[in-house]
Structure 1
Amino acid sequence: MGDPWQECMDFAVVLARKAGTVVCAALKESVTVMVKSSPADLVTATDQKVEELIISSIKEKYPSHSFIGEESVAAGAGSTLTDNPTWIIDPIDGTTNFVHRFPFVAVSIGFAVNKQVEFGVVYSCVEDKMYTGMKGKGSFCNGQKLQVSGQKDITKSMILTELGSNRNPEVIKIVLSNMERLLCIPIHGIRAVGTAAVNMCLVATGGADAYYEMGIHCWDMAASSIIITEAGGVVLDATGGPFDLMSRRVIAASSREIGERIAKEMQIIALERDDTGEEH
C-alpha cells in the first residue's frame, strides 16, 4: 500500500509551483507594503493573494482538513495545532526579500497529522528550486536526493540565522550576543538569506551546517523541519531539548553534536507560543 499522504504531497507541489508563478510575476510589478507587528514585519497584497489561492484550492479538494496560514493568523484566525490533518502555510517566506527584490523568496507548505509533520514542500521560486521531504521517504531538491554535511565539529561549521523583525533593543542585544558567542568559538562564519525555510533547506543540502532562530513561527519551519530530518539532520529546541513546532524557536543542524553545542551557547529570548494566537 502506498503512503496515504502521497496524493496530498503531490498536490502541495503543484500548488507551490502555481503560487511561485504568482510570486515571480508580482516581483516585476510595484509592491504595496503594509506593516504588521513592527516596522520590519511586512506583508503585501501578494502574500494574501497567494495564501488565499493555496487555502481555497486545498479546501475544495480536502474539505475536512485544517489550516494554519501566516496571513490568516495575522487577520485574527486561530493558530492551534490539533490532531486533524493540518496544512501549515507560509505564502511568501521572505516577504522583506520580496519587497526589496532580493532573490530568496519561498512558498512553504507543511502538512501535519496527529501534531507530527508528515511532509513538507518549500519552493524557492526565483531560484526555481523545489525542495520536498516526506516521512521515511527522504528529501529532495528538483529530484536530487539531499544529504546534510554530517559535520560534527562546530569549529569547522558555517551557521545560518536571521536577525528577525523584532526591534526591541533588549531583544536585539540578545540576538547579537548569541552571534558573538558563536563567532568566538570560533566558527567559520554566519550567513543569512532572509527566509527561514530556505535557510533550513540549505542545511539539508549540506551547503551549511546549522541554522538557528528564535521568534519565528510554525509556518516558517513546518515544511523544512522534515526536509532536514529526512536529509539526515536533526531539529532541536533552542534549549537543546526536543523540537516543538509551536514553540517559535528552532535549531536545525547537520548533527546532534553541533545542534547541542549551539544550544549551549544560546541566551533564550522569552516568546509567546504560536498556539496562543497572541503573537501579532
Structure 2
Amino acid sequence: MADPWQECMDYAVTLARQAGEVVREAIKNEMNVMIKSSPADLVTATDQKIEKMLLSSIKEKYPSHSFIGEESVAAGEKSILTDSPTWIIDPIDGTTNFVHRFPFVAVSIGFTVNKKVSVKGDLERPESGRGQSMVGKWRVCSGTQKLAISKTQQNTIYITKSLLVTEFGSSRAPETVKIVLSNLEKLLCIPIHGIRGVGTAAVNMCLVAAGVADAYYEMGIHCWDMAGAGIIVTEAGGVLMDVTGGPFDLMSRRIIAANSKTLAERIAKEIQVIPLQRDDEE
C-alpha cells in the first residue's frame, strides 16, 4: 500500500535542499547574532529567514496542517502537538556551530501524524566555508544509500565497547552543568570507549543511524531537535527511549537514541535526570 504521506516527504526533501543553499551562502558572510535563553543559546537572522521560508512554503501547499518551529516558539507561539498532520522545524540545528563556522549544521524537518513522526529530516553539513550537501547520505529512504546502525551491541551486551555521543547543552546554570558533567563521569568510568559530540542533536542522532556511534543521549533539547532525526534512527534499526528507561516522548526534551534496547537501558541506569519543563507546557 502506498504511503499517503509520501508527497509530504518528497516536499520536505525539496525544501531542505533549498534551505541548505541558504545556509551555504550565509556562512560566508557576517552574521547578526542574538541571544535567546542563555549566552550559549544563539539565533541569527539566517535561522529566522529559513524558518519563515519553510513555513511560508508549507502553509501555502498544506494550509490545513499544523506547525511547530523553533524560532516561532521563541517569538511567543505555543508548542502544541496534536493528532493533526504537524510539521516540526529547526531551521538551523547547530546555530552556535553556524556562528563559529564549525562544519556541522542541520536543517531538520520532521512531520507527525497522530503524534507519531512520519517524515524524515534532511541535513546540510557546511565544509570549508562552502558546504557539502548531506541529503541522501543521512536520509534512510533516499534510495542512494541505506543506513544501518552499528553492530557493537548486537554482538555483545557490554557497554564497555561503545562510543557515545552527547552535548553539554545550552544551560549554564551551575546545578545543571554539575549533573551534565557527573553523567559524563559516570559513563566514562564504566569505562566506555569514549564520548563525542558535534554540536547538533540531529547530526549526533544521524551518526548513530549511520553506525559510526553506538548511542546518543541528551537532556534539554526540544522536539524540533529530535523530530527529523528520530525516525532516521529507527528506520536504520535503532531505538529511541526516554532517559528514565521508559518510552520516548517527543515533547519531553530528553532522549536516548541507540543501536539496541540493551544499550539504551544501560545508559538510562547510569545517568541522573535533569528536571525540565516540557515543550507542551506553558
Q: TM-score range by the shorter chain?
A: over 0.9
Asked if the contact 1:150–1:255 (Cα under 8 Å) also holds between the matched residues in 2, the reply is: no
Which residue identity lines up with residue 13 of structure 1 in the other structure? V
Paired residues, number: 273
What is the RMSD computed on CA atoms of the aligned residues?
1.4
When normalised by structure 2's length, the TM-score is 0.94
- 1:78 counterpart residue number: 78
Change (3 A) 1:221 1:132: farther
- 2:150 counterpart residue number: 149
- 1:185 counterpart residue number: 190
- Counterparts in 2 of 1:1-280, with a 5 A limit? 1-126=1-126, 127-130=132-135, 139-140=140-141, 143-152=144-153, 153-277=158-282
Structure 1 or 2: larger strand share? Answer: 1
Question: Structure 1 stretches of 5 or more lacking a match?
Answer: none
User: What is the distance in 1 between the residues matched to 2:277 and 2:230?
Assistant: 20
State the Cα deviation string for residues 171-230 of structure 1 (Å, max 9, x = none): 000000000000001000000100000000010000100000000000000111110000
Which residue identity lines up with residue 149 of structure 1 in the other structure? S
User: What is the distance in 1 between the residues matched to 2:125 and 2:218?
Assistant: 23
Identity percentage of aligned residues: 69
Which residue identity lines up with residue 86 of structure 2 in the other structure? T
User: What is the distance in 2 between the residues matched to 1:164 and 1:131?
Assistant: 28
When normalised by structure 1's length, the TM-score is 0.95
User: What is the distance in 2 between the residues matched to 1:67 and 1:131?
Assistant: 24
* 3-state DSSP of counterpart to 1:198: helix
* 3-state DSSP of counterpart to 1:252: strand
Asked if the contact 1:217–1:274 (Cα under 8 Å) also holds between the matched residues in 2, the reply is: yes
Question: Structure 2 stretches of 5 or more lacking a match?
Answer: 127-131
User: What is the distance in 2 between the residues matched to 1:264 and 1:220?
Assistant: 24
